[in-house]
Structure formats: C-alpha cells, structure tokens
Amino acid sequence: MQRFLVTGSAGFIGFHVASRLLQEGGSVLGLDNLNDYYDPGLKRARLAQLGENRRFRFLRADIADRARMERLFTEETFDCVIHLAAQAGVRYSLTHPNTCIQSNVVGFMHILEGCRVRAIKHLIFASSSSVYGVNQSLPFSPHHNVDHPLSLYAATKKADELMAHVYAHQFGIPVTGLRFFSVYGPWGRPDMVLFIFTRAILKKQPIDVYNFGKVRRDFTYIDDIVESIVRLVDRAPAPNPAWNANDPDPATSLAPYRIYNVGAQSPVEIGELITVLEEKLGAKAECRLRPLPPGDVQATFADVEDLEREINFRAQTPLKAGVGRFVDWYLEYYRPNVAEAEEGDFKSHIPEDAALVPAPGTERSPD
C-alpha cells in the first residue's frame, strides 16, 4: 500500500486526486487549511466524500506554518508527496499579493524542506499554464522560456519550478512539475468560469465575456488531469544525460527534474464553451463583452508531446461531454432550488475543528 500526502485535498484537483489514489488502494493523508477564498462549505463537502474511505485521513493545517509542517514530516512517512495546495487566482494575486506569496512560495518551501528531510521518493507539484505569460508561440511547450509572467500568481508558480530544481539538484529529490491548463469538471471551484457561467445562466443574470469573446482556452477535464498524475506517481524523473548547459532545456535537467504540460491540446474560444453550456442547460446566456483584464492571457494551448511519450497520456474527454458532467453534478448538488442557490448552500460538512484522523489500523481496519 503506497502512502501519499496530498496537500490541498479539500480543493478541486486535490479532492479528485485523493479519490483516485484511494480507489487504487493507496493510503492518503489529506492536508488543507480550509480557508475562505471561496466557500469552505464546498471544501468540507469534498472532505466528507473522501472521509467515507477508511484509508483517508485529514489534517487541517496551513503549509505556510513552518513549525506545523516540520512536525508533520517528522511524525509521518510518505512514499510520494503530491503538492496541490496553493492560493489560486490570477486576478486575486494582484489584489492580495502577500497571501499569494505566503502560500505559493513560503508554503512550497516548507514542502520542499519536508521532502528533503524525509528523502521522499517523488514529489509531484502543481504549476500552471499561466507561467507562459507574454509568450505567444502556440502551442505552449515546456521547452519554451517562461521568464515573462503577467501576474504575481504566475510568478509564484515559476518561482516554485525554480525552487524545486534547486532541491532536485542539491539533494537529489526527484521532482515533477505539472503545468495545468484550464481544469474543469464536477466539484469545481466557484470562482472558475464554467461554475460562474452556469450559475449566472440559471439565475438569468448576465455574464462577463472577456477580450470581447476572443479568449481561447485549452479546457482540460478533471479526470484527464488525475489520470496524468496517477500515471506519473511511479515514474520519478531521472537526470537527462543529454542536457546541455550551453543550450539549457527548461523542461529537463542534469538533476532528477521534469516539467510537463497537462492539457487537452484542443483550445476553444469562450463563445464555444457558452454555446455548449446553453445547449446543456436549455437556456440562453446574456453576454456582456469586456476587455481583457490585467494578468490574463489571450490564449492557451498545451503541447503535451513529452507527457504522451513518457506515460502514453493524451486527454480523452471532449468539451461537450465534460461540460455535461459538470452541469449534471451542479444540478444534483444544488437541488431542489438550483436557480436560487448561492455559494453557501451546501449539504455536507466537516466540523470546523477537524484535525488529524487516527491512522489506518489504529482504531479500525482499512477497507
């Protein structure tokens, strides 16, 4: 039985990753601070689902708390750390820079230190497609230079990649960074575009469509994201013997370090997303065309050739199918008053003072 630490386990991607690892027979310690960036009720509802499996334990803690992270890695042993906790939000980072730095940079340093002390076999961490910044060479390749981010959030993710490389180089920790592209699906975040559009259409409210409808995104369904992570767990990176310091490849290294894109490799204009959503909901959207906000990029498009070559991965979920599954979840989750539902209307919860659940086998046998 493999032992995993999944940070951000109450978050959108972390919840789905933890669920899949449990299905595969793993033992998961989930960590999250349950902050109020968006309604903690949704986070507790996700945890309630995970808590139905006896091989899941939960620790409410903040990765920016150095003493707590040191104690965690002293008390626990993991085969693999999957680090998905972060302060999300490109626009949020522009108005809350300190929060972003504390979580995404300081917190990540504590994770790296824990992995160093415990000689973790493989650290997988979430980066972001936002690191490509002003780069307009499509599709985005992990071999491209990404030194010109457009938001503080993107800069922190680039910083994470650099910090991870240092620890891979200095201490031999195998590290894999994943640049996710516009992830969507059931249990998604309320601040993400599909969630916002769905709620607004059902409540007959207008939606803001940025860059006057010309935004293109490589929307990637959550199950495809999870599949890539699960396949990589046992594929810890090795040094690249062909790496050339005179022509350095940003995606590989002489250290055990790799960077991959994880995307659908099928960008669509936001108008196409709206059309698919309207067909599924049987309702029309009222669109307000807006300019591109600061920090946003006009288009994203993932080159996933490296990931396909390494783990035979390619996203399998068409946009229409993925949107349909999200809407089905949304309507089920908010019933019976879908049109009146607000962020706080959730059915399940984890207690506010939730702490570390007893280790498997100490009070009951694992499933």
Place of tokens 């040094």: 239
User: Do the strands 27-32 and 3-7 form a parallel or antiparallel pair, or are they unpaired?
Assistant: parallel
3-state secondary structure 56-93: EEEEECCCCCHHHHHHHHHHCCCCEEEECCCCCCHHHH
CA distance 83 to 8: 7
Which of 37, 38, 132, 153 is labelled catalytic? Answer: 153
CA distance 57 to 364: 12
Compute CA distances 103 → 109, 183, 191, 215, whole Å.
9, 20, 18, 28
> Coil, helix or strand for 127?
strand
Q: Which two tokens stand for residue 116?
A: 């160093």
Q: Which two tokens stand for residue 334?
A: 């908010």
Neighbours of 213 (CB within 10 A): 13
CA distance 176 to 228: 12
Active site residue 167: no
> Coil, helix or strand for 128?
strand
User: Do the strands 216-217 and 268-269 form a parallel or antiparallel pair, or are they unpaired?
Assistant: antiparallel
289, HSE (Cβ side, Cα atoms, 13 Å): 6
Q: Which residues are catalytic?
A: 153
